[in-house]
Amino acid sequence: MKEVIYPGKEIVNGTVTTPKGFVASGIHTGVKEEGQLDLVILFSEKEAAAAGVFTQNLAMAAPVIISKEMIKNHHLRGIIINSGNANACTGSRGMEDAKKIQEATAKALNIKKDDLALASTGVIGVPLPMDIILKGIPVAVEQLSKEGGKDAAEGIMTTDTINKEIAVEIEVDGKTVTLAGMAKGSGMIHPNMATMLGFITTDADVEAEYLQEILQEVTESTFNMITVDGDTSTNDTVFVLANGMAENMTINASHPDRKLFKMALKQVSEHLAKSIVRDGEGASKFIEAEAVGFPTLQDARIAARTVLSSNLVKTAIFGGDGNWGRMICSLGYSGAPFNMDTIALTLGNGTSETIKVLDKGLPLDYDEAAVEKLFEDKYIRIIIEANNGPASAKGWGCDLTYDYVKINGSYRS
| Cα distance between residue 396 and residue 225, in whole Å | 6
The domains of the chain are located at 9-278, 286-409
315 is catalytic: no
Question: Are the C-beta atoms of 389 and 293 separated by less than 8 Å?
Answer: yes
221-274 pLDDT tens trace: 999 999 988 878 889 999 999 999 999 999 999 999 999 999 999 999 999 999
64-113 pLDDT tens trace: 999 999 999 999 999 999 999 999 999 999 999 999 999 999 999 999 99
CATH 3.10.20.340 assigned to 286-409? yes
147-195 pLDDT tens trace: 999 999 999 999 899 999 999 999 999 999 999 999 998 877 787 766 6
Q: Which CATH class is domain 9-278?
A: alpha beta
Instruction: State phi, psi for 159 to the nearest 5 degrees.
Output: -85, 0
DSSP secondary structure letters along 25-66: EEE--SSSSTT---EEEEEEEEEEEEEEEE---SS--HHHHH
122-156 pLDDT tens trace: 999 999 999 999 999 999 999 999 999 999 999 99
Task: For residue 333, count CB atoms less than 10 angstroms from its CB and return exposed for 0-12, middle for 13-18, buried for 19 or more.
Answer: exposed
Question: Are the C-beta atoms of 180 and 168 separated by less than 8 Å?
Answer: yes
Angle at which helices 297-309 and 311-318 cross, to 10°: 60
Catalytic choice (55, 178, 195, 227): 195
Find how far residue 221's CA is from the centre of its chain.
11
For 27-55, what is the mean pLDDT? 97
Strands 379-385 and 286-294: parallel
| Cα distance between residue 86 and residue 80, in whole Å | 13
Mean pLDDT over all residues of the chain? 95
pLDDT of residue 413: 45
Q: In the structure, what pLDDT confidence band is assigned to residue 348 with cuts at 50, 70 and 90?
A: very high
C-alpha count within 13 angstroms, C-beta hemisphere, residue 166? 23
